[in-house]
Amino acid sequence: MAKEKETNLFEYTEESIKSLDWKEHIRLRPGMYIGKLGDGSSPDDGIYVLVKEVMDNCIDEYAMGYGKTIELTVEGNQVTVRDYGRGIPLGKVIDAVSKVNTGAKFDSKVFQKSVGLNGVGTKAVNALSNYFKVTAIREGKEKTVEFKKGVLIKEYNQAKTQEENGTMVTFIPDDSMFRNFKFHPEFMENQIWNYCYLNAGLKIIFNGKPYISRNGLLDLLQRKTNEDEIRYPIIHLKGDDIEVAITHNNDYGEDIYSFVNGQHTTQGGTHQQAFREAYVKTIRDFYKKDYDAADIRTGIVAAVSVKVVEPVFESQTKTKLGSVNVDTDGPSMKQFVGDFMAKELDNYLHKNPSVADGLKKRIEQSERERKEMAGIKKLANERAKKANLHNKKLRDCRYHLNDDPPSKGREEFIAKQKETTIFITEGDSASGSITKSRNVEIQAVFSLRGKPLNSFGLTKKVVYENEEFNLLQHALNIEEGLEGLRYNNIVIATDADVDGMHIRLLLMTFFLQFFPDLVKHEKVYVLQTPLFRVRNKQETIYCYDESEKQAAGKKLGSKPEITRFKGLGEISPEEFARFIGPDMRKELMRLEQGDHIQQLLEYYMGKNTMERQEFIIDNLKVEMDKVEEEL
């Protein structure tokens, strides 16, 4: 009898079927709409997707020929975006921001090549905001409405105004979903620059500072490279609905930035693959030599932008383009990009023999290096396969970034992929704590044995000869570049002491030396873990620096217990779960504009020069002064 009752608890009846309205569904499954939530410490965190969704509408107006300026203001946690386009039709303002599958972009005559076609973007922003306000201005009249978490709280009557036509949106992300979030200006600035590169002549004013590009993708590559690094002047090609910029440097791997209708497709897609294939074919045809594809693309730094009618993205966050034709009845993406490259790149190389010569020398350099390493690479791959059967270095997760999403549950699968993380740690105790407390679906752990080799100045041969580097390369699946990367986030997790800092620096050197595109595409982080635990019988507070410790001590009062964590291994798995979960603090490893990788490595990892000694002494004095002030 008891068994029968237990079974009834799981009956599948009419009551089991639930219907959610649009805002409830967005709030219940935010990952389907904006990817991961995050706290703003990563450039693909949800708060930046919210900004992008609003900005995309402004960009679409500009692309249609309306409004040459967009104003973006961030004050604390509040974001305001103002464009000078046509403005939402006043009678449809509420519908445009609160009814899914409602919008002008379903009318292909109005928005021919828009990035947002599902009528979801601003609705997601509305549903995920504590406060959301939109004002539409058209022909001397304005209409304003206000929402809270997707619920209409105030509707203003239409009023006369002297303001120019356009739309203004103000929102504050919901802090119950985006916990402890903070907007980092450098991430937003990078996003703004991409908008400008893809829309030459558009002016975006961010917190009072104007951003504008006159030369499109040429400007992008100039900002992403250093003049001293590149092997030949940047090739810049433009055609109807396509723009390409190409050069090479001495780095390993490929560094390709791809865009569709102004959307940065960070995970590539059919247009990026079409470019990679077309580039190889055109080069082979031009030089009349069957070069290996890897030799042609090693060291490439490129950007490709296409415009298509009704793009099909793999998810609402639009980071990967699916199979699509350039126009409704037009050529396939492969044919379109292939024809353009075969004509324009071939013509360019014929007209610029010095560029063609520089490109040929880079390809032949890659060819020589590959042949020199062929035997070593084969043995290393065999060792790695054999080691993977027995070693415990990698505790893998269930989802991977390079897995093909299933047809059923596709959106949730892609949302999980974006959160895939591998922690690189040192020592059994630290890796043990993370392994026991991790989310096995999306978090993997790779355990180092001792300090890695200082790889500065070494060739890629060492990656195959050094067991640690070889196994790490295979765990990440980056031998052939970012296309096969298995995890969206690579997090270095070491102790916050001198040895831990040294290991961290050696790993950073490894990535910058051999896989710089991981850093350029903002995949590498450093885990921040608390230095102190301050507690009494009622409350426990974890503190990440001395100032937080002092504030916690004042809050708890009467001499609370204070523990100083000397290493990750001292943090119990139960505690560690707090620090690698939704509230995980991590610092992005990023390159500033103009940074020269080899110069950076030479300065920090090369010979112990007097300049570096002075840098260490000066910074040590600054840190000592801070400690004295706190004491």
In tens, the pLDDT along 164-214 reads 999 999 999 999 999 889 999 988 998 999 999 989 899 999 999 999 999
Q: Which residues span the domain enclosing 401?
A: 391-529+567-595
What integer is the mean pLDDT of 281-296? 94
Q: What is the pLDDT of residue 4?
A: 43
What integer is the mean pLDDT of 269-293? 92
Q: What is the mean pLDDT of the chain?
A: 83
Please name which of 201, 237, 32, 187 lies closest in space to residue 118, comparing C-alpha atoms: 32
Sheet holding 540-543, edge to edge: 540-543, 532-535, 561-564
Query: Quick one: 157 and 279 in the same domain?
Result: no
What integer is the mean pLDDT of 378-407? 77
C-alpha torsion sign, points 510, 585, 623, 558: negative
Q: Which two tokens stand for residue 384?
A: 């790695």
Inter-CA distances, 30 with 50, 191, 356, 388, 428, Å: 11, 21, 48, 36, 36
Inter-CA distances, 421 with 29, 135, 399, 496, 585, Å: 20, 40, 10, 20, 13
Q: Give dist(CA 418, CA 405) in Å, integer.
A: 12
Q: What is the pLDDT of residue 229?
A: 80
- Domain harbouring 515, CATH code: 3.40.50.670
Please name which of 462, 538, 447 lies closest in space to residue 494, comparing C-alpha atoms: 447
User: Are 438 and 421 spatial neighbours (Cβ–Cβ below 8 Å)?
Assistant: no
Whether residue 389 has pLDDT greater than 60: no
Sheet holding 443-448, edge to edge: 394-395, 443-448, 421-426, 489-493, 524-528, 585-588
What integer is the mean pLDDT of 551-559? 87
Q: What is the pLDDT of residue 356?
A: 95
Instruction: Please write the tens of the pLDDT for every residue from 122-155.
Output: 899 999 999 999 999 999 999 999 999 999 999 9
Which residues are 207's β-sheet partners? none
Query: Which position has the higher pLDDT, 325 or 27?
Result: 27
Query: Which position has the higher pLDDT, 597 or 305?
Result: 305
Query: Quick one: 233 and 286 in the same domain?
Result: yes
Task: Name the amino acid, one letter, at 340.
Answer: F
The H-assigned helical ranges of 454-572 are 461-465, 467-476, 498-514, 516-520, 546-556
Q: What is the pLDDT of residue 174?
A: 93
Whether residue 430 has pLDDT greater than 80: no
Question: Ramachandran region of residue 342, left (φ > 0), alpha (ψ -120 to 50) or beta?
Answer: alpha
Query: Quick one: 571 and 554 in the same domain?
Result: no
In a domain, 548, yes or no: yes
Q: Which two tokens stand for residue 578?
A: 């707090």
The H-assigned helical ranges of 318-409 are 333-351, 353-390
Q: What is the pLDDT of residue 34?
A: 81
pLDDT-derived band of residue 262, with 50, 70 and 90 as boundaries? Answer: confident
Whether residue 119 has pLDDT greater than 60: no
**Which of 242-251, 497-506, 599-608 is least confident?**
599-608
What integer is the mean pLDDT of 530-549? 88
- Domain harbouring 96, CATH code: 3.30.565.10
DSSP letters for 221-232: HHHHS-TTT-SS
In a domain, 4, yes or no: no
Instruction: Please write the tens of the pLDDT for every residue from 440-457.
Output: 999 999 998 878 888 888
Under DSSP, the state recorded for 485 is: -
pLDDT-derived band of residue 573, with 50, 70 and 90 as boundaries? Answer: confident
Task: Name the amino acid, one letter, at 296.
Answer: I
Question: Ramachandran region of residue 253, left (φ > 0), alpha (ψ -120 to 50) or beta?
Answer: left
Query: Quick one: 486 and 520 in the same domain?
Result: yes
Of 517, 543, 562, at which residue does a domain stop? 562
In a domain, 118, yes or no: yes
Strands 141-148 and 151-155: antiparallel
What integer is the mean pLDDT of 14-20? 50
Q: Which two tokens stand for residue 614?
A: 């002075």
Instruction: Please write the tens of the pLDDT for every residue from 295-340.
Output: 999 889 999 998 887 766 665 555 666 665 555 556 788 898 999 9
Q: What is the pLDDT of residue 31?
A: 77
Of 157, 182, 212, at which residue does a domain stop? 212
What integer is the mean pLDDT of 33-56? 87
Q: What is the pLDDT of residue 107?
A: 40
- The three state secondary structure string of 551-599 is HHHHHHCCCCEEEECCCHHHCCHHHHHHHCCCCCEEEECCCCCCCCHHH
Look up tokens 């290991």; give the residue: 503
In a domain, 509, yes or no: yes
The gap between the terminal CA atoms of the chain, to the nearest Å, is 69
Inter-CA distances, 292 with 268, 281, 335, Å: 22, 10, 22
Q: What is the pLDDT of residue 351?
A: 96
Exposure letters 23-62 (e unless 16+ CB within 10 A, then b): beebbeebbbbbbbbbbbbbbbbbbbbbbbbbbbbbbbbb
Of 161, 193, 212, at which residue does a domain stop? 212
In a domain, 376, yes or no: no
Query: Quick one: 473 and 538 in the same domain?
Result: no
Please name which of 373, 398, 396, 404 lies closest in space to residue 470, comparing C-alpha atoms: 373
Query: Quick one: 223 and 206 in the same domain?
Result: no
Whether residue 3 has pLDDT greater than 50: no
Q: Give dist(CA 351, CA 288) in Å, integer.
A: 17
Instruction: Please write the tens of the pLDDT for every residue from 77-117.
Output: 999 999 999 999 998 899 888 876 544 443 444 344 444 44
Query: Quick one: 571 and 558 in the same domain?
Result: no
Query: Which position has the higher pLDDT, 16 or 347?
Result: 347
Look up tokens 């947002």; give the residue: 116
User: Are 470 and 460 spatial neighbours (Cβ–Cβ below 8 Å)?
Assistant: no
User: Are 588 and 525 spatial neighbours (Cβ–Cβ below 8 Å)?
Assistant: yes
> Contacts from 186-194 at CB under 8 Å and sequence distance 24+?
186/590, 187/40, 187/43, 187/48, 188/48, 188/51, 188/72, 188/74, 190/43, 191/43, 191/48, 191/51, 191/52, 191/55, 191/264, 192/72, 193/220, 193/223, 194/220, 194/259, 194/264
Q: What is the pLDDT of residue 631?
A: 46
Query: Quick one: 184 and 278 in the same domain?
Result: no
Q: What is the pLDDT of residue 76?
A: 92
What integer is the mean pLDDT of 272-297? 93
Which residues are 585's β-sheet partners? 528
**Which of 386-390, 412-416, 613-617 is least confident?**
386-390
In a domain, 463, yes or no: yes
Query: Quick one: 310 and 419 in the same domain?
Result: no
Look up tokens 């893809």; give the residue: 198
Q: What is the pLDDT of residue 12?
A: 46
Query: Quick one: 575 and 496 in the same domain?
Result: yes
The number of CA neighbours under 13 Å toward the Cβ of 305 is 26
Total domains, the chain:
4
Look up tokens 């708060």; give the residue: 47
Query: Quick one: 176 and 269 in the same domain?
Result: no
Residue count of the chain = 631
Q: What is the pLDDT of residue 118?
A: 36
| Range among 300-304, 317-321, 402-406, 425-429 with highest mean pLDDT value | 300-304
Whether residue 5 has pLDDT greater than 70: no
Q: Give dist(CA 400, CA 524) in Å, integer.
A: 16
CA 527 vs. chain centroid, Å, equals 17
Query: Quick one: 123 and 234 in the same domain?
Result: no
DSSP letters for 138-202: ETTEEEEEEEETTEEEEEPPPEE--SPSEEEEEEEE-TTTSTT----HHHHHHHHHHHHHHSTT-
As to burial, measured by CB atoms within 10 angstroms (0-12 exposed, 13-18 middle, 19+ buried), residue 4 is: exposed
